[in-house]
Amino acid sequence: MQIKREICTMKLVKHPNVVRLLEVMGSKARIFIVLEYVTGGELFETIATNGRLKEDEACKYFQQLINAVDYCHSRGVYHRDLKLENLLLDAAGNLKVSDFGLSALTEQVKADGLLHTTCGTPNYVAPEVIEDGGYDGATADIWSCGVILFVLLAGYLPFEDENIIALYKKISKAQFTCPSWFSAGAKNLITRILDPNPTTRITIAQILEDPWFKKGYKPPVFDEKYQTSLDDVDAAFGDSEDRHVKEETEDQPATMNAFELISLNQALNLENLFEAKKEYKRETRFTSQFPPKEIITKIEEAAKPLGFDIQKKKYKMRMENPKAGRKGNLNVATEVFQIAPSLHVVELKIAKGDTLEFQKFYRSLSTQLKDVVWKCDGEVEGNSTLA
């Protein structure tokens, strides 16, 4: 159940400062979770190795943390275990929140409007969580963010004691002292966050308006390329020939591997299990018994009257609308995969553009491909077996 909740939570959160869940697949014995590869290690290791951060660097990480937490809360997600060990850094030095194993959703809030499960890491947990009388998930997360900010600036925890009871007493009374090197602005913000009274504790909206927080603040950038992984397609249309994806034969499209085949199997694909409310999908697939070259030709013939420019390389295709939409020019990457000599899967993904515009484009395209699509038992309503 914990794994199910974590997957469900991560599918709700798509933010540049949160580790991204890329895919979920399953078999009769295992669940496979594919996460974004983050190479910079834990922020905890940075502090443990190099000590406290300079104030401007600590502020940058704290801004990214608040951006991520604010987004999670807007989606009804409360992390409940925010700590340095759960903050990762990517290759560019950007913060990534990870490990939603103890997270809670709005649906878990009781009739009194509060959460009641005591959880988290003792040194980072809010006083109201310890007192076990119910707590607001958003307010408790803010406290943990305050502890993180203190550690970034000080190099050590604000609340420490070998005796757990003594530790909890310090937390409940907010018994901590800011080091002398804290600036007045940082000290003021931390004091307002580490307020033992959750009703008077500073909110995220107020943090965003705090003068110290706003220094050099950069809002999050939601990169469309972040939404899907299309490295192989990008390589196929790159300028350098040595970056092109090499196919084994001239006459056959790429063969899908075992994991990809699992993800296409409706009985084993776990996406619907963990996603109660479906969003517009950023990719779709259909199966066909037509020869692969003929499939590509048919798609090209159907896309051109819709005003799309076409680029082809063997069994890969880029279709771009020269007219800009709500999120720029819609760019769709298409590839034909072979499952068996007489059966192929055609995959269409957004490389750039708006999801709703992609769905409208596919509906128009699919009406022209009725003779290409292979119908099978258990397919969804319509003319194709959509993934």
Residue 327: closest CA among 252, 226, 187, 248: 226
Residues 81 and 147 sit within 8 Å (Cβ to Cβ): no
Residues 201 and 143 sit within 8 Å (Cβ to Cβ): yes
Give the Cβ contact number of residue 300 at 10 Å: 15
Residue 254: Cβ-neighbour burial (10 angstroms; 0-12, 13-18, 19+) = middle
Q: Is 371 a catalytic residue?
A: no
Residue whose token pair is 């992609």: 358
Question: Looking at 81, 136, 195, 354, which residue is catalytic?
Answer: 81
Cite the active site residues: 81
